[in-house]
Chains A and B, each alone.
Chain A
Amino acid sequence: MPFNQKPQKFNAKINTVTIGTGDKTVTLGGNSTFPFYTFDAPTVNTPKVGVEISDLGLEALPEGAKAYYEGCTTMADIAKKAAAMEGADFVALVLEGGDPNGEDKPVEDLIAVVKEVADAVDCPLVVEGCKNVEKDSTLLAKVAEALQGRNVVVMSEKEENYKAVGAAAGLAYNQIVGAESAVDINLAKQLNVVTTQLGINAQNIVMNVGTACAGYGYEYVVSTMDRIKGAALGQNDNMLQMPIITPVASETWGVKEASASEADMPEWGPQDERGIDMEVMTAAADLASGSDAVILRHPQSVAAVSKMIKALA
């Protein structure tokens, strides 16, 4: 008696969101199965990999990544090199220098960086804020304006600033809104509800449902994403059917497993390897739980994760 394979069919699907313009676009979502369940139905769009670059340049990068960008002196150089990375589908610019508790760069300076990057590459773009909700309200509105016509994702729209960020990105300048919530299905849904109530089309929203590094409360990420995908597909909840973009690098490179030097922790071995594996394993877990795109930093992580995606497709 052979094995009776029962497929798990859903009548709902994740929204399809296309980022970028012209012939250099990427499309997220569109699938009606749990991640990589090709045996239930073919994958419509495979998950995508973004390369994170920062307005602060290369200084904070791990050694191996620094080596990859060697010779780059301007943000335009860095952006070009990021876009050319093996396995890269899009570039994600993080405007961390805007943080009032950090460099506190003025908005105009950051917009200049955004423009320089956008002019240098024709690949799809994702822009993340500086983590400070007040600063992001003005900063991200200006980003949306500066990149009009490029169909970018403006991330970091939060509960506290969704009106300013959402309205500018989603209504005034027709960008894709990246709604960010903190690892909770209800918070994710609530933000999508209020964002659509602004008049933004649900098809123009992607979610960052919050993330963590493997080992650091990661169980909340798994269960949040499992439940979101379950509700989106199983209950046809159209306020949870937005594709998920997960910034991975910003979580993984700061933890001590990745940031402790080999001199401090000789038994742990080479720092670059630890950082890559932390980034790769966290990203793989995100993808297994339901991320439609991940944002990574190290070229070897980008290569490995995109290889895994291709192998599973």
Chain B
Amino acid sequence: MALSGIQIFKLTPKKNCKECGCPTCMAFSMKVAQGAMKIEQCPHMSDEAIASLSEATAPPMKTIKIGAGSEEFSLGGETVMFRHEKTYVSKTRYAVNLCTCMDEAAVDAKLAEIPKVDYERIGERMYVELVNVKCAEGADAAAYTALVQKAAGLGRTMILECSDPEIAKAALEVCKDSKPVLNGANPSNYEAMNAVATAAGVVLGVTGADLNERYDTVAALEKLGNKNLVIDVTGADVKETFANAVLVRRAAIKDQDRTFGYPSIVNLVALAKGDLHLQAALASLFTMKYGSIIVMEQLTYAEALPLYGLRQNVFTDPQKPMKVETGIYPINGADENSIVLTTVDFALTYFVASGEMERSGVPINLVISDAGGLSVLTSWAAGKFSGTTISKYIIENVEPKVKCRKLVIPGKVAVLKGDLEAKLPGWEIIVGPREAVQLVKFLKDLQ
């Protein structure tokens, strides 16, 4: 949290010696508060003052890194409760669950199913990033380690859900280099679990019977010097878990209570085992409200398509619209003889328009040029979607590839028709509908 100039001033030596380049300590403090200067620029600041300042200016929620190499992910580091205030920084990550309680065939089926989901959406690879490996009650170290080893074969970052320090230690022996999370510290085992996690250099997950137990355990672990933690907020039921997820995040961000300033784990298998549609609903809920890692029973295309789309939307910069790549997008099996439609690169416009075009069944070459990621009217008003920009893109990129010389422009920029006819000799310019919903009828009528 940002400190005020007055709060910083209280920590300065109040010498007014000007060595920092400011006329007074107060002036210096105001600059530090604005972020224009660094506290170290005063040579007379005591170590304690610097330490207490860096503590006070530390982000309210830690950024925790899990996994290794290309499978490394940052969790947490959030600064706001709502995305319109500032961008959420660390995407929710999803894990599919494996358990020693599953028979071999079931485990093999899951391991075969997980890699099937792997696709790209607006420049982002979508796949099951994490695997949760649960050590069920009664399983021994050999059985658990065997399962962990098998799961490790997928090459995905793992969460070891295990509260027995000895078993955890054995399992980490075979996988610690991939930097899994060890999830299972609680009030009765945290010292031993802490030793195992720190020895292996992995993040430790903290759980407990209620929020107080989690709070005290995190505080105790911090006292032992471990701040490489996540908090498993999964409670006895859905209601308690949702309360935990919100309260932990809110305590950290709104109330500056740094003991809860860690990312969270929500385990839907524990809450709704066997009810896949309820898990789907909850995965969405906890993506919206404060789950850093969500563990699910399955993540096939049915779950992934909506969930990853939702995540991609929620974790965007509210100031910066999502853009799609410029290019020619063939729809409904379009070829070089298919009609050309153009619109802007604003992702929302692209998705809505291309969806309607797909519904029409008409083969179309959808041409997207750089319009600054703005909507049709906004980019037109800003001069980024004009007769000049469109014709330039068509001549340079479309004419060499497409033979058809019919171009449909959005109805909202019908005024561009004359200009485009002048700039694109040989092309027939057709004014399309104003709204995407009218596209299906328009395209069918056009045929």
Distance between Cα atoms of A53 and B355 in the complex (Å): 23
Q: How far is the CB of B244 from chain A (nearest CB, A)?
A: 9
For residue B437, CB closer than 8 A to chain A, the reply is: yes
Contact A276 B284 (CB under 8 A): no
B362 in the interface (beta carbon within 8 A): no
Q: A277 vs B306: C-alpha distance in the bound complex, in angstroms?
A: 7
Interface residue B155 (Cβ < 8 Å from any Cβ of A)? no
| B239–A313 CB distance below 8 A | yes
Chain A contacts of B322 at CB under 8 A?
217
B190 at the A/B interface (Cβ < 8 Å)? no
Interface pair A218/B277, CB less than 8 Å apart: no
Interface membership of B359, Cβ < 8 A: yes
Q: How far is the CB of A69 from chain B (nearest CB, A)?
A: 19
For B302, list chain A residues within 8 Å (CB).
268-270, 273-274, 276-277
Residues of B within 8 A of A73 (CB): none
Known: A281-B280, A288-B288, A311-B238. A217 touches B306 (CB 8 A): no
State whether B306 touches A282 (Cβ < 8 A).
Answer: yes
In the complex, residue of chain A having the shortest beta-carbon distance to the beta carbon of B302:
A273
By the criterion CB–CB under 8 Å, are B250 and A214 in contact?
A: no
Cα distance A8–B438 in the bound complex, in angstroms: 45
Q: Looking at the complex, which of B99-107, B128-136, B346-354 is the stretch in contact with chain A?
A: B346-354
Stretch from B14-22, B212-220, B380-388 forming part of the interface with A: B212-220
Closest to A255 in B: B355
Q: Is the CB of A257 within 8 A of B309?
A: yes
Give the CA-CA distance A223 to B306 in the complex, in Å: 18
Say yes or no: A278 contacts B238, CB within 8 Å. Answer: no
Does B45 touch A at the CB level, under 8 Å?
A: no
Interface size class of B (residues with CB under 8 A): 35 or more
Q: Contacts A3-B212, A218-B309, A219-B316; is A303 near B277 (CB within 8 Å)?
A: yes
Q: Given the complex of chains A and B, what is the CA–CA distance between A287 and B282 in angstroms? A: 11
The answer to whether the Cβ of B314 comes within 8 Å of any Cβ in the partner chain is: yes
Residues of B within 8 A of A287 (CB): 285
User: Once bound together, how far apart are the Cα atoms of A4 and B246, in whole Å?
Assistant: 14
CB-CB contacts below 8 Å: B28-86 with A: 82-84
Q: Does B237 contact A (CB under 8 A)?
A: yes
Q: Are A1 and B309 in contact (CB under 8 A)?
A: no
Chain B residues with CB under 8 A of A90:
none
Residue among B243, B282, B302, B347 with most chain A CB within 10 A: B302
B434 interface residue per 8 A CB criterion: no
**Contact A274:B216 (CB < 8 A) given known A6-B255, A303-B277:** no
B83 touches A223 (CB 8 A): yes
Decide yes or no: A254 and B359 within 8 Å by CB, A215-B309, A308-B285 being known contacts: yes
Q: Cβ of A273: which chain B residues have Cβ within 8 Å of it?
A: 300, 302
Where the two chains meet, the residues of A that have a C-beta atom closer than 8 Å to any C-beta of B are: 1-6, 8, 36-39, 101-102, 131, 212-220, 222-223, 226-227, 230, 254-257, 259, 267-270, 273-274, 276-278, 280-285, 287-289, 300-301, 303-305, 307-308, 311-313
| Additional pairs, 14, CB under 8 Å, beyond known A222-B313, A274-B301, A312-B242 | A2-B216, A102-B441, A214-B309, A217-B352, A219-B314, A226-B83, A277-B280, A277-B306, A281-B284, A284-B284, A284-B288, A285-B310, A288-B288, A308-B285
The 4 A-B pairs with the shortest beta carbon distances in the complex, nearest first, are A215-B309, A217-B348, A304-B277, A311-B238
* Chain A to chain B contacts (Cβ below 8 Å), 18 pairs: A3-B247, A102-B441, A215-B309, A218-B313, A222-B314, A223-B84, A230-B82, A268-B301, A269-B300, A269-B301, A282-B310, A284-B281, A284-B285, A285-B288, A307-B278, A308-B281, A311-B237, A312-B238
